[in-house]
Chains A and B, each alone.
Chain A
Amino acid sequence: MTLEEKISALSEEYRDHIRPELEVLRAYISRLQSGDYTPEDLRALQQLAHMQSGSAGSFGYEQLAEAAKATDVAMIQGLAIPDLVQRLKAWETALNATLA
């Protein structure tokens, strides 16, 4: 198997790996919109954003990486929740498109 084939297979496996994260992300959006969230939720959400921003682009999913990075940066900067939710929705859209 060539490197290109290995990376292609790994990219497909990565996409399957992050598939459940769409529902996780939607649950976070719902919690933030309702105000029913904890500091631990925010920490876990940022961890998710950080991981996807670092890895998705390496597997060719640049738009997803950018959307996740925008969320990660917003959370580092302490963006207000309503604005953060907009970033999360953009991330959700990118993730949905990646998984389609």
Chain B
Amino acid sequence: MQPFPQSPQRNYIRNLDRLSVLIADDDPFVGRLITAILQDSGIYNVHSVKDGEEAFNLLKERSFDLAILDIHMPFVNGIALSAQIRALDRLQRRRTGIIIMTTHCDATLVPFVRANEVDQLCLKPLARANLIQRIMSALSPRNQSQREPEPDTELNALWI
């Protein structure tokens, strides 16, 4: 594995150790894998939950800088969670970075992803470099002001 990329993108994000990240995936191994990758990159404030309901309840209690959400989860899916996050963002005058993880390229997702201002789509299986790139992009000032989401490379066709 390559070390954390020292690209200009990294300059967008200061105090990586203070970043708070929510991971919601019904497969705990995915949560543990992402947590390991984040910690290796200097991001230690990571909360991993096993389903959408747990994430939903946690979001009512506290906010996060970034949410990495599986699209298919029991009770509340990643798209519904994105809507919840955006509603809370409006109330709190903040903007949470949102990454949706999906296994399939599914064009039916597009309107829902756009409507909820999802910043990045990340295709599973997860690759470390791609995940880090998605995280940096989701947290960059560009994405904080520009609402058009960026898809994973294999999802590009969906956004034309």
Interface, chain A (partner B; CB < 8 A): 2-4, 6-7, 10, 13-14, 17, 50-51, 53-59, 62, 65, 69, 72-73, 76
Contacts and interface: CB of A to CB of B under 8 A. Distances in A.
B115 to A, nearest CB: 22
Interface string B27-50: 101101100110010000000000
Contacts of B37: 3
B26 interface: yes
Interface of B: 1, 26-27, 29-30, 32-33, 36-37, 40, 70, 72, 101, 103-104, 124-126, 128
Q: Is the interface of A mostly helix, strand, loop or mixed?
A: helix
B36 A7 contact: yes
A53 B103 contact: yes
A2 B33 CA distance: 13
Given A56-B125, A57-B124, A3 B27 contact: no
A55 B72 CA distance: 13
Contacts of B70: 54
A51 to B, nearest CB: 5
Nearest to B27: A55
Given A50-B72, A51-B27, A65-B125, A59 B33 contact: yes
26 contacts: A2-B1, A3-B1, A3-B37, A3-B128, A6-B40, A7-B1, A7-B36, A10-B29, A10-B36, A50-B103, A51-B26, A53-B103, A54-B27, A54-B30, A54-B70, A54-B124, A54-B125, A55-B27, A55-B124, A56-B125, A57-B124, A58-B29, A59-B33, A62-B125, A72-B104, A76-B104
Given A55-B29, A59-B29, 16 more contacts: A3-B36, A3-B37, A4-B1, A7-B36, A17-B29, A51-B27, A53-B103, A53-B124, A54-B30, A54-B125, A55-B124, A57-B124, A59-B33, A65-B125, A69-B103, A72-B103
Contacts of B30: 54-55, 58
A51 B30 CA distance: 10
Contact of B124 (A3, A4, A58): A58
Nearest to B34: A58
A58 B126 contact: yes
Contacts of B125: 54-58, 62, 65
